[in-house]
Chains A and B, each alone.
Chain A
Amino acid sequence: MARTPRQVRTPREALATSARRTGPSRRQLGIVAAVAVAAVAALIVLGNMQPPPPPSTSAAGITVSANVMGGITAPVTIEEFADFQCPACRVFATGTEPQLRTAYIATGKVRFVFRHFAFIGAESTWAGEAVECAGEEGRFFDLHDRIYAAQRGENTGAFSKLNLQKIARDLGLSAGFDACLAGDRYAQRVRSDTTAGQQKGVAATPTLFINGRKYEGTMSFEQLQAIIDPLLK
């Protein structure tokens, strides 16, 4: 049943011999060129079909304007001064804030303002600049949440600009974000916030100003409730 070697080899040999004498035919080259162009076009089209950016993760149904969450008519304003590298700020951001958002901000009772108090190191400033850049796309608090979730020690490179760009990319932020961060567009903003905090007597993070009154250190949701509820009466 086996085919004889002769049957298999002859056509190939013939082809190879003829090909050696002449170059590839125009027809062959035309086909290969068409395939190459089509393959590259397909790659580019495929690459540009990026998944739509995920919806805002931090604030379903909440008005977000740059660093402010909630409407201006809310009777209580909480202003937080924080550093993205500060572990206590992370505890507040990941433990207390989600409940604050659903129970008070989404219901129009509290307006939340995030201010930078970047004092731990250069990475604090970069992380602060990054959320401001994300704010240009309406994603300030989305990136805020992702950065806190990625916190890993202080000044260890976790918030290098490169890593911040990766975090932003995972969030679906645009190429404009990279340029914004690389160009330090908001460095001055982060510095002026920090200076404003010092002038208001901030000495540690997080520091909350609830309707102007200062509270230092992280707070559980229950502790926060105990302060907010009387102000709503």
Chain B
Amino acid sequence: MRLAALALAVIGSAVSAYLTWVHYSGQLALCLGAGGCETVQASQYAELAGVPVALLGLVAFVAATAITALRLRAGASAWTLTAQFGIGLAGTLFAAYLTYLELFVIHAICPWCVVADSAMVGVFAIALLELRAAPSA
């Protein structure tokens, strides 16, 4: 399960890194089937207070990668699970907000973003499952 969390975090990092590169280079994103990537990336919501959303995602996923990698070690301390829970919760809430924007404001869905959002939800879900398994202090 911890390995799955790491894999999701790595996938999320790769997608965010790609979208951040797309944002700064002005290139068009490779579209996975359905369009909408350009509309979403070109919309005013692609940046939050001047910071590209993709870059925010990259920061969160790199942190999640580091944390989930630490958790692979035997006897990883509890704070790593707390951190994974925190990053996962914040990331999932933010992903929900962005998906709301895509569906109801921009009216376009960006497949890359869906992949990244799902990866974040997965990281959070695994944290929750592990928390249920671990006895609380």
A165 with B43: CB separation less than 8 A:
yes
Q: A15 CA to B28 CA in the complex, in Å?
A: 49
Binary interface encoding of chain B residues 28-41 relative to chain A, with 1 for a CB under 8 A from any of its CBs, else 0: 10000000001100
Q: Are B97 and A169 in contact (CB under 8 A)?
A: no
Q: Complex: how many Å from CA A165 to CA B45?
A: 12
A99 to B116, CA, bound (A): 51
Q: What's the minimum C-beta distance from A152 to chain B, rounded to whole angstroms?
A: 13
A47 to B98, CA, bound (A): 12
Query: Which of A25, A40, A175 lies in contact with B137, CB distance below 8 A?
Result: A25
Contacts A43-B94, A169-B42, A175-B106 given: A24-B78 contact, CB under 8 Å?
A: yes
Find out whether the CB atom of A46 lies under 8 angstroms from the CB atom of B48. Answer: yes
Across the interface, which residues of B come within 8 angstroms of A8, CB to CB? none
- Hey, what's the 0/1 contact readout for B3-47 against A, CB within 8 Å counting as 1? 000000000000000000000000010000000001100111100
- A16-B77, A20-B75, A24-B81 known; A47 and B49 CB under 8 Å? yes
A33 within 8 A of B: yes
Q: How many residues of A contact B (CB 8 A)?
A: 35
Tell me the smallest distance from the CB of B86 to a CB of chain A, in Å. 4
Looking at chain B's contact residues, is the secondary structure mostly helix, strand, loop, or mixed? helix
Contact A25 B43 (CB under 8 A): no
Hey, which chain A residues are within 8 Å of B77, CB to CB?
15-16, 19-20
Contact B137 A24 (CB under 8 A): yes
Q: Is A203 an interface residue (CB 8 A)?
A: no
- In the complex, the answer to whether A40 meets B94 with C-beta atoms within 8 Å is yes
Q: Which residues on A are within 8 Å of B, measured CB to CB? A: 15-16, 18-20, 22-26, 28-29, 32-33, 35-37, 39-40, 43-44, 46-47, 49-50, 161-162, 165-166, 169, 174-175, 178-179, 182
13 contacts between A and B (CB under 8 A): A16-B77, A23-B135, A25-B137, A29-B85, A32-B82, A32-B83, A32-B89, A40-B94, A43-B48, A44-B97, A47-B45, A169-B42, A175-B106
